Amino acid sequence: MDEDTSQLEPSRLGTKTHWDSVYSRELSNFIDTGDEGEIWFGEEVVEKMVNWALDHISPISRPYILEIGAGNGTLLFALLEAGFESTRAVGIDYSADAVRLARAIAERRGLSGVLLLECNFLSQSPPKCSGQEQEWDLLLDKGTYDAIALGEKDRQGISPAVGYPARAAALLNPGGFFLITSCNFTEDELKQTFATPATGLLYHSRVSHPSIRFGGKTGSMYTTMAFQKPHLAP
């Protein structure tokens, strides 16, 4: 069992009821005012994740991209607007109104072809793109693992987040990347959770964020890291 994820106390941010009410409100706002809703962690984090992707994966290689817990789709749409192919991109979320909101935003931005679907990452297999035979080349997570780690523990005290790393790793093609931004976990904690013999993932790189000083300690508000599934031996 992963120790770090089990240490977080459950909160409403780890419940589907919370996200359903957030996106029901954001969907109504979008319909009334055209506001796309909250950009989780802010625009700079989105920009840094997109730049990381552009630096390490060429859009010309036509990667298959899956965002886990895509919310209003801001990150996925930023990648598509940066040149990645919409017919090879899928965003899943377990909140139906998040999916409705993301679809409405995609339509307004003229991003056709991207699949946005209701799916619980912990219990369902994400749908694939039309014609996709292999797994994914890039998995994205911005705040979803954080939310899952705040979910209610089971009777044995095990966090729902414990199953996440292996599920994510199994969805990657050899050579594929998992790019995550968290506000709850440090770099060491993410490494301990995702770069393990059980996942087979290796730490690849990190993205710097401005550091803050709080309580005599210096750290970043966000952690963005990339892990890679090793290429198959020739």
Ligand X SMILES: C[S@@+](CC[C@H](N)C(=O)[O-])C[C@H]1O[C@@H](n2cnc3c(N)ncnc32)[C@H](O)[C@@H]1O
- Asked whether the beta carbons of 210 and 220 are under 8 A apart, the reply is yes
Indicate whether 176 belongs to the interface with ligand X (CB under 6 A).
Answer: no
117-120, long-range: CB < 8 A, 24+ apart:
117/90, 117/91, 117/92, 118/92, 118/93, 118/94, 119/92, 119/93, 119/94, 120/94
Stretch that binds ligand X, among 4-12, 65-73, 199-207, 220-228 (CB under 6 A): 65-73
To ligand X, the closest distance from the beta carbon of 125 in angstroms equals: 12
Indicate whether 75 belongs to the interface with ligand X (CB under 6 A).
Answer: yes
Q: Is 141 left (phi over 0), alpha (psi -120 to 50) or beta?
A: beta
To ligand X, the closest distance from the beta carbon of 51 in angstroms equals: 16
| Among 63, 143, 165, 176, interactor with ligand X by CB under 6 A | 143
Indicate whether 121 belongs to the interface with ligand X (CB under 6 A).
Answer: yes
From 149, 145, 187, select the one nearest 168 (Cα to Cα): 145
- Asked whether the beta carbons of 218 and 212 are under 8 A apart, the reply is yes
- Asked whether the beta carbons of 221 and 183 are under 8 A apart, the reply is yes
Residue 217: exposure state from Cβ atoms within 10 A (0-12, 13-18, ≥19):
exposed
Indicate whether 149 belongs to the interface with ligand X (CB under 6 A).
Answer: no
Q: How far apart are CA 228 and CA 194, in angstroms?
A: 10
Indicate whether 19 belongs to the interface with ligand X (CB under 6 A).
Answer: yes
Read off the tokens for 125: 């297999």
| Among 80, 98, 225, 226, interactor with ligand X by CB under 6 A | 98
To ligand X, the closest distance from the beta carbon of 34 in angstroms equals: 18
To ligand X, the closest distance from the beta carbon of 91 in angstroms equals: 8
**End-to-end CA, the chain:** 33
Indicate whether 71 belongs to the interface with ligand X (CB under 6 A).
Answer: yes
| Among 58, 120, 125, 134, interactor with ligand X by CB under 6 A | 120
Indicate whether 70 belongs to the interface with ligand X (CB under 6 A).
Answer: yes
Indicate whether 95 belongs to the interface with ligand X (CB under 6 A).
Answer: yes
Indicate whether 126 belongs to the interface with ligand X (CB under 6 A).
Answer: no
Size of the site for ligand X (CB under 6 A): 21
Residue ranges in contact with ligand X by CB under 6 A = 19, 40, 69-72, 74-75, 92-95, 98, 120-122, 142-144, 147-148
